Protein backbone atom coordinates (compact mmCIF):
# COMPACT_ATOMS: atom_id res chain seq x y z
CA UNK A 1 0.00 0.00 0.00
CA UNK A 2 2.66 2.44 1.03
CA UNK A 3 4.69 1.29 -1.93
CA UNK A 4 1.76 1.88 -4.28
CA UNK A 5 1.21 5.38 -2.90
CA UNK A 6 4.86 6.11 -3.23
CA UNK A 7 4.86 4.97 -6.82
CA UNK A 8 1.86 7.18 -7.54
CA UNK A 9 3.61 10.09 -5.86
CA UNK A 10 6.76 9.47 -7.90
CA UNK A 11 4.64 9.26 -11.02
CA UNK A 12 2.89 12.56 -10.18
CA UNK A 13 6.22 14.27 -9.55
CA UNK A 14 7.72 12.98 -12.79
CA UNK A 15 4.65 14.09 -14.78
CA UNK A 16 4.85 17.50 -13.12
CA UNK A 17 8.57 17.87 -13.79
CA UNK A 18 7.90 16.72 -17.35
CA UNK A 19 5.41 19.53 -17.74
CA UNK A 20 7.78 22.04 -16.22
CA UNK A 21 10.69 21.16 -18.47
CA UNK A 22 8.48 21.06 -21.54
CA UNK A 23 7.69 24.72 -20.83
CA UNK A 24 11.36 25.56 -20.51
CA UNK A 25 13.42 23.24 -22.72
CA UNK A 26 16.49 25.46 -22.36
CA UNK A 27 18.59 25.69 -19.24
CA UNK A 28 20.40 22.98 -17.32
CA UNK A 29 18.81 19.60 -16.77
CA UNK A 30 20.54 16.60 -15.23
CA UNK A 31 18.97 13.86 -17.37
CA UNK A 32 18.12 15.72 -20.55
CA UNK A 33 14.84 13.78 -20.96
CA UNK A 34 13.12 16.59 -22.82
CA UNK A 35 12.75 17.92 -26.35
CA UNK A 36 15.74 19.59 -27.97
CA UNK A 37 16.39 23.28 -27.36
CA UNK A 38 15.11 26.13 -29.43
CA UNK A 39 16.10 29.79 -29.31
CA UNK A 40 19.45 29.22 -27.60
CA UNK A 41 22.13 31.84 -28.27
CA UNK A 42 25.23 30.31 -26.67
CA UNK A 43 27.26 27.60 -28.39
CA UNK A 44 30.18 25.92 -26.63
CA UNK A 45 32.63 24.58 -29.19
CA UNK A 46 34.91 21.90 -27.78
CA UNK A 47 38.04 21.16 -29.81
CA UNK A 48 38.87 17.55 -28.97
CA UNK A 49 42.28 16.61 -27.50
CA UNK A 50 45.13 19.18 -27.20
CA UNK A 51 48.51 19.63 -25.53
CA UNK A 52 50.02 16.28 -24.57
CA UNK A 53 47.03 14.51 -26.13
CA UNK A 54 47.46 14.52 -29.92
CA UNK A 55 44.41 12.38 -30.62
CA UNK A 56 44.78 10.42 -33.85
CA UNK A 57 47.54 11.16 -36.40
CA UNK A 58 47.01 10.57 -40.10
CA UNK A 59 49.60 8.27 -41.65
CA UNK A 60 48.64 9.77 -45.04
CA UNK A 61 49.04 13.48 -44.32
CA UNK A 62 50.79 13.51 -40.93
CA UNK A 63 48.07 15.82 -39.60
CA UNK A 64 47.20 15.52 -35.94
CA UNK A 65 43.63 15.40 -34.72
CA UNK A 66 44.24 18.02 -32.01
CA UNK A 67 45.33 20.59 -34.63
CA UNK A 68 42.45 19.82 -36.96
CA UNK A 69 39.83 20.09 -34.21
CA UNK A 70 41.17 23.47 -33.12
CA UNK A 71 41.15 24.65 -36.74
CA UNK A 72 37.55 23.45 -37.11
CA UNK A 73 36.11 25.15 -34.01
CA UNK A 74 37.58 28.47 -35.18
CA UNK A 75 36.02 28.00 -38.60
CA UNK A 76 32.64 27.05 -37.07
CA UNK A 77 32.78 30.10 -34.80
CA UNK A 78 33.43 32.33 -37.81
CA UNK A 79 30.59 30.70 -39.77
CA UNK A 80 28.15 31.13 -36.88
CA UNK A 81 28.75 34.87 -37.06
CA UNK A 82 27.41 37.44 -34.64
CA UNK A 83 24.04 35.80 -34.02
CA UNK A 84 25.49 33.53 -31.35
CA UNK A 85 27.75 33.87 -28.38
CA UNK A 86 30.42 31.24 -28.98
CA UNK A 87 32.64 29.85 -26.26
CA UNK A 88 35.76 27.90 -27.22
CA UNK A 89 36.65 25.19 -24.72
CA UNK A 90 40.26 25.73 -25.77
CA UNK A 91 41.63 28.30 -28.18
CA UNK A 92 45.21 27.03 -28.29
CA UNK A 93 47.20 23.82 -27.98
CA UNK A 94 46.49 23.06 -24.33
CA UNK A 95 45.44 19.87 -22.58
CA UNK A 96 42.11 19.91 -20.77
CA UNK A 97 40.93 16.79 -18.97
CA UNK A 98 37.54 15.48 -20.11
CA UNK A 99 35.97 15.96 -16.68
CA UNK A 100 37.26 19.55 -16.60
CA UNK A 101 35.62 20.12 -19.96
CA UNK A 102 32.34 18.89 -18.50
CA UNK A 103 32.72 21.12 -15.43
CA UNK A 104 33.25 24.14 -17.68
CA UNK A 105 29.94 23.45 -19.43
CA UNK A 106 28.21 23.74 -16.04
CA UNK A 107 28.82 27.48 -16.13
CA UNK A 108 26.20 27.78 -18.83
CA UNK A 109 22.46 27.20 -18.94
CA UNK A 110 20.84 28.20 -22.17
CA UNK A 111 23.54 26.71 -24.39
CA UNK A 112 24.54 23.66 -26.41
CA UNK A 113 27.88 21.87 -26.61
CA UNK A 114 29.38 20.61 -29.85
CA UNK A 115 32.53 18.55 -29.33
CA UNK A 116 34.61 18.27 -32.50
CA UNK A 117 36.79 15.26 -33.36
CA UNK A 118 38.26 13.40 -36.31
CA UNK A 119 38.07 9.64 -36.47
CA UNK A 120 40.58 6.84 -36.91
CA UNK A 121 40.03 3.16 -37.66
CA UNK A 122 40.74 0.57 -40.37
CA UNK A 123 41.86 2.44 -43.49
CA UNK A 124 38.82 1.52 -45.64
CA UNK A 125 36.34 3.17 -43.24
CA UNK A 126 35.36 6.75 -44.00
CA UNK A 127 32.64 9.34 -43.55
CA UNK A 128 31.36 11.62 -40.78
CA UNK A 129 29.74 10.19 -37.67
CA UNK A 130 27.78 11.79 -34.82
CA UNK A 131 27.41 10.72 -31.17
CA UNK A 132 24.72 11.75 -28.73
CA UNK A 133 23.18 10.35 -25.56
CA UNK A 134 20.59 12.73 -24.09
CA UNK A 135 17.08 12.93 -25.54
CA UNK A 136 17.43 16.72 -25.78
CA UNK A 137 20.51 16.31 -27.98
CA UNK A 138 18.92 14.06 -30.60
CA UNK A 139 17.53 16.80 -32.88
CA UNK A 140 20.83 18.68 -32.99
CA UNK A 141 22.68 15.39 -33.60
CA UNK A 142 20.39 14.53 -36.52
CA UNK A 143 20.93 17.98 -38.03
CA UNK A 144 24.71 17.86 -37.60
CA UNK A 145 25.02 14.40 -39.12
CA UNK A 146 22.77 15.30 -42.06
CA UNK A 147 24.77 18.46 -42.72
CA UNK A 148 28.16 16.73 -42.61
CA UNK A 149 26.96 13.80 -44.73
CA UNK A 150 25.64 16.23 -47.35
CA UNK A 151 29.06 17.89 -47.49
CA UNK A 152 31.06 14.66 -47.56
CA UNK A 153 31.54 13.39 -51.12
CA UNK A 154 31.89 9.75 -50.03
CA UNK A 155 29.21 7.50 -51.46
CA UNK A 156 29.02 5.89 -48.06
CA UNK A 157 29.49 9.37 -46.58
CA UNK A 158 27.02 8.82 -43.78
CA UNK A 159 28.31 6.71 -40.92
CA UNK A 160 25.19 7.82 -39.14
CA UNK A 161 24.11 8.58 -35.64
CA UNK A 162 25.40 6.63 -32.65
CA UNK A 163 23.82 6.83 -29.21
CA UNK A 164 26.77 6.39 -26.88
CA UNK A 165 27.37 7.35 -23.29
CA UNK A 166 30.59 9.35 -23.37
CA UNK A 167 31.77 11.97 -20.96
CA UNK A 168 31.03 14.71 -23.50
CA UNK A 169 27.61 13.26 -24.46
CA UNK A 170 26.28 12.23 -21.03
CA UNK A 171 27.85 14.40 -18.38
CA UNK A 172 27.11 17.99 -19.39
CA UNK A 173 23.72 19.14 -18.09
CA UNK A 174 22.89 20.85 -21.36
CA UNK A 175 22.37 19.41 -24.85
CA UNK A 176 25.66 18.05 -26.14
CA UNK A 177 26.71 16.30 -29.33
CA UNK A 178 30.09 14.89 -30.33
CA UNK A 179 30.87 14.99 -34.03
CA UNK A 180 33.56 13.01 -35.84
CA UNK A 181 34.15 15.06 -38.97
CA UNK A 182 35.68 12.19 -40.96
CA UNK A 183 38.40 9.53 -40.83
CA UNK A 184 41.97 10.76 -41.08
CA UNK A 185 42.96 7.07 -41.23
CA UNK A 186 41.31 6.78 -44.66
CA UNK A 187 43.82 8.02 -47.28
CA UNK A 188 41.36 9.80 -49.57
CA UNK A 189 39.31 11.33 -46.74
CA UNK A 190 42.54 12.40 -45.01
CA UNK A 191 43.63 14.23 -48.17
CA UNK A 192 40.22 15.88 -48.37
CA UNK A 193 40.41 16.96 -44.72
CA UNK A 194 43.88 18.39 -45.37
CA UNK A 195 42.23 20.82 -47.78
CA UNK A 196 41.23 24.05 -46.00
CA UNK A 197 38.41 24.61 -48.49
CA UNK A 198 36.81 21.30 -47.50
CA UNK A 199 37.16 22.07 -43.81
CA UNK A 200 35.53 25.45 -44.41
CA UNK A 201 32.61 23.76 -46.22
CA UNK A 202 32.23 21.34 -43.32
CA UNK A 203 32.31 24.20 -40.83
CA UNK A 204 29.68 26.06 -42.83
CA UNK A 205 27.37 23.02 -42.81
CA UNK A 206 27.91 22.47 -39.08
CA UNK A 207 27.12 26.12 -38.34
CA UNK A 208 23.95 25.96 -40.42
CA UNK A 209 22.82 22.84 -38.52
CA UNK A 210 23.30 24.66 -35.20
CA UNK A 211 21.46 27.72 -36.53
CA UNK A 212 18.58 25.56 -37.76
CA UNK A 213 18.24 23.79 -34.40
CA UNK A 214 18.00 27.16 -32.65
CA UNK A 215 15.42 28.41 -35.15
CA UNK A 216 13.24 25.30 -35.40
CA UNK A 217 13.89 23.15 -32.36
CA UNK A 218 13.42 19.46 -33.18
CA UNK A 219 11.00 20.04 -36.09
CA UNK A 220 11.78 17.65 -38.94
CA UNK A 221 14.31 15.55 -37.03
CA UNK A 222 12.07 12.53 -36.41
CA UNK A 223 10.75 10.97 -33.21
CA UNK A 224 12.63 11.47 -29.97
CA UNK A 225 14.59 8.47 -28.68
CA UNK A 226 13.64 6.67 -25.46
CA UNK A 227 14.89 8.27 -22.25
CA UNK A 228 17.60 6.21 -20.57
CA UNK A 229 18.47 6.69 -16.92
CA UNK A 230 22.17 6.12 -16.74
CA UNK A 231 24.77 7.65 -14.41
CA UNK A 232 27.45 9.99 -15.71
CA UNK A 233 30.16 8.39 -17.78
CA UNK A 234 33.42 7.59 -15.95
CA UNK A 235 37.03 7.29 -17.12
CA UNK A 236 36.76 3.51 -16.62
CA UNK A 237 33.98 3.27 -19.23
CA UNK A 238 34.71 2.06 -22.74
CA UNK A 239 37.32 4.09 -24.63
CA UNK A 240 36.33 7.44 -26.03
Cα distance from N-terminal residue to C-terminal residue, the chain: 45
Per-residue mark of binding to Zn ion, 83-122 (x: CB under 5 A)? ----------------------------------x-----
Least Å from the CB of residue 160 to Zn ion: 18
Nearer to Zn ion, 21 or 47 (CB): 47
Residue 128 found at the interface with Zn ion (CB under 5 A): no
Nearer to Zn ion, 121 or 208 (CB): 121
CA–CA distances in Å: residue 5 to residues 16, 88, 170, 180, 192: 16, 48, 32, 47, 61
Nearer to Zn ion, 55 or 128 (CB): 55
- Among 25, 32, 36, 48, the residue binding Zn ion under the rule CB under 5 A is 48
Nearer to Zn ion, 40 or 118 (CB): 118
Q: Name which of residues 208 to 227 contact Zn ion (CB under 5 A).
A: none
Count of residues near Zn ion by CB under 5 A:
3
Q: Would you list the DSSP string of the chain? A: -HHHHHHHHHHHHHHHHHHHHHH--SS--SS--SPPP-S--EEEEEE--BTTB---B-TTT--BHHHHHHHHHHHHHHHHGGGSEEEES-SSS----HHHHHHHHTT-SSEEEEEEEEE--STT--S-EEEE-SGGGHHHHHHHHHHHHHH---TT---EEEE---HHHHSSSS-EEEEEEEETTSHHHHHHHT-HHHHHHHHHHHHHHHHHHHHHTTTTS-SPPPP---PPP-TTSS--
Least Å from the CB of residue 116 to Zn ion: 9
Residue 55 found at the interface with Zn ion (CB under 5 A): yes
Q: Which residue is nearest to Zn ion (CB)?
A: 117
Nearer to Zn ion, 117 or 138 (CB): 117
Q: What are phi and psi of 2, to 5 degrees?
A: -60, -40
Least Å from the CB of residue 179 to Zn ion: 10
Least Å from the CB of residue 30 to Zn ion: 26
Least Å from the CB of residue 161 to Zn ion: 17
Nearer to Zn ion, 21 or 148 (CB): 148
Least Å from the CB of residue 240 to Zn ion: 7
Per CB under 5 A, residues contacting Zn ion are: 48, 55, 117
Amino acid sequence: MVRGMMLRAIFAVSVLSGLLVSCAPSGRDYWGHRPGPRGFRTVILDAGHGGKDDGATSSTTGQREKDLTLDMVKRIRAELGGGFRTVLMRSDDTFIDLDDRVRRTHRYGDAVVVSVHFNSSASHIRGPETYYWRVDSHGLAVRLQRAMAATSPAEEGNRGLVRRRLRLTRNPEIPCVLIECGYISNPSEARLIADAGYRQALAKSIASAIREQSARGDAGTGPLPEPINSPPSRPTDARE
